[in-house]
Amino acid sequence: MQGDLLAQLDGMLVVSCQAESRMPLDAPEHIAAIARSVILGGAAGVRIEGVANIDAVRRRTGVPIIGLIKARRADTEIYITPTLANVASIIEAGADIVALDATNRPRPTDLEAMFGAIAAKGRLSMGDVSTLDEGKRAIDAGASLISTTMAGYTPYSNQQRGPDFQLMGQLAGAGLPFVAEGRIWTPQEAVRCFELGARFIVVGGAITRPDAITRGFVDLVASWSADPQLKRNKS
């Protein structure tokens, strides 16, 4: 069953359907509507945060769900699915793959216990990493897959605006099964991820964040409007 699930996602696009807290789309019914919309557009799966959202999407769709919980804690920097209780809740809500932060930072529960608990329930696990060393460590600890989600979000990883293609090349060179995720904004960048060996890709904000997409247009229009030379060149 797990092999069938990965075969279903290989070479495909997964869309992260999330909304920031207190934004207009931050409600289970809205997340489920976004998920159904991207599936109509051809997405092979979705990545969903939060138990209520996972449950809402599961009841309305049949595609694979990558589930996670973002939980800020005072005792750790790990906030993507930091505890075994989070894992149990994600699985109960209906996720097929459980994503968790697998970076080399102090954590409430060790990685072997986290990945073991996921495997015991017959689910796949995804370790979100930021470096090659973290990817190796996650696979050794039992992760089914690793993802480049955390690249650029730890102080010791590459800090850049776009996808971490260098990390993808390193993971492929090491023979590690990886998913490309993080700051993928164009179809051309998506194709490059596959060229570098990604099993599948996860795209979020470029598709599902109307505020960020609108801001990109607004900023460019504002720059053009404020530059008399650009206006003259177009007249």
The tens digit of pLDDT for each residue in 165-179 reads: 999 999 999 999 999
- The domain locations on the chain are 2-209
pLDDT above 80 for 233: no
| 8 A C-beta contact, residue 97 and residue 64 | yes
User: For 59, what's the count of Cα atoms within 13 Å in the CB-facing half-sphere?
Assistant: 13
- pLDDT for residue 235: 55
Backbone angles phi, psi at 232, to 5 degrees: -65, -40
In which band, very low, low, confident or very high, does the pLDDT at 227 lie, cut at 50, 70 and 90?
A: confident
| % of the chain beyond a pLDDT of 90 | 89
pLDDT digit string (tens) for 183-211?
999 999 999 999 999 999 999 999 999 99
pLDDT above 90 for 232: no
pTM: 0.94
Backbone angles phi, psi at 152, to 5 degrees: 90, -5
- In the three-class reduction of DSSP (H, G, I as helix; E, B as strand; rest coil), residue 81 is classed as coil
Amino acid making up residue 132: L
Classified by CATH at the fold level, domain 2-209 comes out as: TIM Barrel (3.20.20)
